[in-house]
Amino acid sequence: MEFLAQWWDRIVAGFSRSQPPQLTLTEVLLILLAAAALSIPPVTWRYFGLFSTVVHELGHAFAALVAGSRVTGIRLNFDHSGLTTSFGRPGWRTTWATFWGYPVPAVVGSVLVWCGFAGWAPAALSVGALMLLLALLFIRNAGGVLILLGAVAVSAVLVAAVPAEFSGHVVVALGVALLVGSVRDLGKVANVHLRRRRERGQSDAYLLYRSTGIPAAVWLVLFTAVIGGSIAWAWTVVSSGVPVSLGM
């Protein structure tokens, strides 16, 4: 109970702007290496990729809610697949909710990078922890519960144990890792359409094609555009923040 009380105090305390971290170029390079270590090697991606899947499915769920649909459940699987179901009027709402899957880890990643450099890292950790807890209400399979509980546990540790002055480093690293992971997932789904077409039935791009008649290639290009724009924005934030910390 004492830990929960301390954790809640840290959650509440996180909703205030802290001093932006003064990152050196060396620190940024170390953060990039840490992020790459989470998203590139298969042994770490096996676990971090589950978190990317959580963000992917929450993207579908949030987009459905924004469109006025009712989210009825989320399923998460250990093979990095997932399924979000929602109920609402057919048409553009379905298209909107289906689109916001693959691009969302990149969008969230770029926002986390901005939060890290702008002094909102503790707030980002607090918001993330609360959203993961809320998402537990929508999970509909045992594997999904285990995956999300793991994400909640890691989030709780980050909120409780990471000092405010170091949280910027952690949030930037997490954001970059999601950006790298989004590129990895985009390459995976593109490869399904190019080389493993028999597996495309569960691809968001194929589902969008089935519901709209617009070719899957167009949706893949749109995924790429959003992910590329997110990476470009994150790069702008990093490149404009680091020289200041170096006194240039």
Give the model's confidence band at 246: pLDDT under 50 very low, under 70 low, under 90 confident, else very high. Answer: very low
Is the pLDDT assigned to residue 247 strictly greater than 60?
Answer: no
Instruction: Output the pLDDT for position 21.
Output: 78
Six-digit token string for 21:
């971290």
pLDDT for 242: 67
Distance CA 129, CA 11 (A): 8
The model's pTM: 0.92
User: Is pLDDT above 60 for 244?
Assistant: no
The per-residue pLDDT for 18 is 78
Rounded to whole angstroms, what are the CA distances from 207 to 87, 101, 144, 203, 219? 16, 12, 22, 6, 10
Q: What integer pLDDT is reported at residue 165 of this predicted model?
A: 82
Region at 90 (left for phi over 0; alpha for psi -120 to 50; beta for the rest): beta
User: Tens of pLDDT along 195-240?
Assistant: 777 767 678 999 999 999 999 999 999 999 999 999 999 999 998 8
The residues that bridge with 139 in the sheet, in sequence order, are 74
Confidence grade of residue 1 (pLDDT, cut at 50, 70, 90): low
pLDDT for the residue 248: 39
Q: Which residue has the higher pLDDT, 229 or 16?
A: 229
Cβ(86)–Cβ(97) below 8 Å: yes
Structure tokens at 116: 């890290």
Average pLDDT, the chain: 90
Express each pLDDT in 32-88 by its tens digit.
Answer: 899 899 999 999 999 999 999 999 999 999 999 999 999 999 999 999 999 999 998
* 97-107 pLDDT tens trace: 999 999 999 99
pLDDT per residue as tens digits for the range 117-174: 999 999 999 999 999 999 999 999 999 999 999 999 999 999 988 888 889 899 999 9
Task: State yes or no: pLDDT of 176 exceeds 80.
Answer: yes
Q: Is 239 exposed, middle or buried (0-12, 13-18, 19+ CB in 10 A)?
A: exposed
**What is the reported pLDDT for 9?**
83
HEC secondary structure over the chain: CHHHHHHHHHHHHCCCCCCCCCCCHHHHHHHHHHHHHHHCCHHHHHHHHHHHHHHHHHHHHHHHHHCCCEEEEEEECCCCCEEEEEECCCCHHHHHHHHCCCCHHHHHHHHHHHHHHHCCHHHHHHHHHHHHHHHHHHECCHHHHHHHHHHHHHHHHHHHHCCHHHHHHHHHHHHHHHHHHHHHHHHHHHHHHHCCHHHHHHCHHHHHHHHHCCCHHHHHHHHHHHHHHHHHHHHHHHHHHHHHHCCC
Q: How many residues does the chain have?
A: 248
**Token pair recorded at residue 56:** 């992917």
Record the tokens describing residue 235, joined without a space.
């790069």
pLDDT for the residue 245: 43
Contact 164, 11 (CB under 8 A): no
How many angstroms separate the CA atoms of 148 and 171, rounded?
Answer: 19
Is the pLDDT at 12 greater than 90, yes or no?
no
- Res 118: pLDDT: 92
* Stronger pLDDT, 19 or 30, i.e. the higher one: 30
Rounded CA separation 213/196 (Å): 21
Q: Is the pLDDT of residue 6 over 80?
A: no
